[in-house]
Structure 1
Amino acid sequence: MPSVMEKKAEEVGRGGLIDGAGVRAQYEDPKTVAYYSRAVSGVGLWRSEEKIFVKTFTPEDSLLDLGCGSGRIAIGLWELGYRRLLGVDFSAPMVAEARRLARLLDYGIAFRRGDATRLTLDDEVFDGVIFGFNGLMQIPGRESRRKALTEVRRVLRPGGNFVFTTHDRRLGKFLGFWEEEAKAWVNGPPVVGLGEFGDRLIVTEQGPVFMHIPEREEVLEDLAAAGLEWIEDHWRQDLANETAPVRAFSDECRFWVCRRP
């Protein structure tokens, strides 16, 4: 009999490998949309995010917020004085909620639906791109993640910066787990629907959430393959002491800053 995790993976992957359509369906669920909507005011911009964004971008920069969800980061940036903002998300209900919240607050932020792996945006139009809250790693398949990185490079102006976050298999408290997981993958994916070592299906109150957990070297290789230049990376805990709501919302992660040469 399949485990609960396998049943959830089959739900998302519809019996095959988990793909973008399966992940998108998770973020079109009303429970998930409501959860992220509450986070706009209940969590807000993280201290670590604010520190990195203010250091990396100027208020005059044109910024793309990829995987914007219900607008938590874009709204936080507006409140910091950034005005040239576009939020893009592949979930139409998330985009609708982001627009609703921006109207409610009377913030002039544009939001639109789009796929990070094939953006319908012109070349070299943004001074900066943000892919927050581990959104890049919710794209199944390394090839697809590299496509998203290539798209980021395409829409960035030369010299433009890209900020994103990931989890990391080398986080101390999870080292033992990943050692055991490596053994489990010797004969193939231990859970139906997962395609690559590092793939996880996390069962939450809102439903199953796909996440790829990389190691630092993997991310550096992907950045190089996409033609992006690494600048710096930091554990979140080294950037700021986060509030309790932020720590409840997201586990420890790694911040990345890179540039289009």
Structure 2
Amino acid sequence: MTVPEWKLPPGVSRGTWDYAQSTSVAEDYDDYHALNPLFDFEESVLREEFARPGRVADLGCGTGRALVPLVRAGHRGLAVDLSEKMLGVVREKAALENLDIECLQANLAELDAVADESVDNAMCLFSTLGMIRGRAVRRRALGHMRRVLRPGGRLVLHVHNFWFNVWDPGGPWWVVRSLLAASAPSARRREDWDLGDKYYPYRGVPNFYLHVFRNRELRADLRSAGLRVRRWIPLDVRRRHALRAGWLLPALRANGWIVVCER
């Protein structure tokens, strides 16, 4: 049954909703991303930042590909996702290895079911923050992420870089069109559109939504949520490691960033 547009949760586009409801996306997720070089690098950052065992929240966990290794290493897991299909895969993995993972179906902008200061560390990876439509709603989600962290707790984020689109086929024109649209009078712009919003076909979803960030924009959003940046890691073109010579035009050369924040 199709959910009417007005009934979609805050920050959830039609494409995001369809993606979350897809059984095939969930069942094929691990195989589809098996060779993604970003995941190995993300896991190395998580091992460094979450060195002491505790309760870790994976916000937008997918099939738990980043959470499961941490729980194997002694952490307790809280897997949060909009997709019940994805959480079903997480439950299967947890049951197979008797892992301490609690699953919660929730929208990241509506995390009231997670108590204040109830997790030691959290992560929101694979540009999940960018799947939330609307800057005000993304800021609300970041506020929830800070709220659930214990004092001193860390949040690891991954997002895509707006300016890196200049290297894609057709990307320069998309950047120019986006900048021109952003400079147009507000009466001529879509009410639900922000500079950096993209819609494109992905995994069988014809109108998948993703917001790609500018450095200054993300820093401002993190400050508004009361999160302090500890590390800002620009990623190389294939996202295998940190950008070499990161001081050289990082705004154009970084594929995206892994950001470590602290409450």
Range class of TM-score, shorter chain: 0.7 to 0.9
Query: Comparing both chains, which one has the higher relative contact order based on Cα–Cα distances under 8 Å and sequence gaps of 6 or more?
Result: 1
Say which is worse superposed, 39-48 or 160-169, in terms of deviation: 39-48
In structure 2, how many angstroms separate the alpha carbons of the residues matched to 1:12 and 1:192?
Answer: 22
User: Deviation per CA, 1:106-150, whole angstroms, max 9, x where unpaired?
Assistant: 433222212211211111111111001100110111111011110
Matched, 1:135 2:125: no
Answer whether contact 2:59 2:80 (CA < 8 A) is retained.
Answer: yes
Query: Deviation of residue 157 (structure 1)?
Result: 0.7
Cα distance, 1:82–1:196 mapped onto 2, change above 3 Å: same
> Match of 2:104?
112
Answer whether contact 1:83 1:109 (CA < 8 A) is retained.
Answer: no
What amino acid is aligned across from residue 123 of structure 2 in structure 1? Answer: I
The number of residues matched between the two structures is 241
User: Deviation per CA, 1:169-204, whole angstroms, max 9, x where unpaired?
Assistant: 122625724124323553779998962121111212
Where 1:211 maps in the other structure, the secondary structure is strand
In structure 2, how many angstroms separate the alpha carbons of the residues matched to 1:102 and 1:215?
Answer: 37
In structure 1, how many angstroms separate the alpha carbons of the residues matched to 2:94 and 2:146?
Answer: 28
Structure 1 residue corresponding to 2:200, chosen from 199, 202, 212: 202
What amino acid is aligned across from residue 222 of structure 1 in structure 2? Answer: D
> Match of 1:155?
148
Matched, 1:101 2:101: no
Answer whether contact 1:137 1:211 (CA < 8 A) is retained.
Answer: yes
What amino acid is aligned across from residue 194 of structure 2 in structure 1? Answer: E
Matched, 1:32 2:29: no
Cα distance, 1:135–1:12 mapped onto 2, change above 3 Å: farther
> Match of 1:215?
214
> Match of 1:179?
176
Say which is worse superposed, 33-42 or 102-111, in terms of deviation: 33-42
Structure 2 residue corresponding to 1:51, chosen from 14, 25, 44: 44
In structure 2, how many angstroms separate the alpha carbons of the residues matched to 1:12 and 1:235?
Answer: 38
Answer whether contact 2:235 2:258 (CA < 8 A) is retained.
Answer: yes
Query: Deviation of residue 40 (structure 1)?
Result: 7.3
In structure 2, how many angstroms separate the alpha carbons of the residues matched to 1:209 and 1:106?
Answer: 34
Identical counterparts, % of pairs: 25
In structure 1, how many angstroms separate the alpha carbons of the residues matched to 2:76 and 2:187?
Answer: 43
Say which is worse superposed, 115-124 or 133-142, in terms of deviation: 115-124
Task: Give 5+ residue unaligned stretches, structure 2.
Answer: 242-253
Cα distance, 1:200–1:148 mapped onto 2, change above 3 Å: same
What amino acid is aligned across from residue 221 of structure 2 in structure 1? Answer: D
Superposition CA RMSD, Å: 3.3
- Taking structure 1 as the reference length, the TM-score comes to 0.79
Cα distance, 1:83–1:219 mapped onto 2, change above 3 Å: same
What amino acid is aligned across from residue 156 of structure 2 in structure 1? Answer: V
In structure 2, how many angstroms separate the alpha carbons of the residues matched to 1:216 and 1:118?
Answer: 25
Cα distance, 1:30–1:205 mapped onto 2, change above 3 Å: same
Cα distance, 1:40–1:205 mapped onto 2, change above 3 Å: closer
Answer whether contact 2:11 2:109 (CA < 8 A) is retained.
Answer: no
Task: Give 5+ residue unaligned stretches, structure 1.
Answer: 1-10, 243-250
- Taking structure 2 as the reference length, the TM-score comes to 0.79
> Match of 1:224?
223
Structure 2 residue corresponding to 1:64, chosen from 57, 74, 86: 57
> Match of 2:261?
258
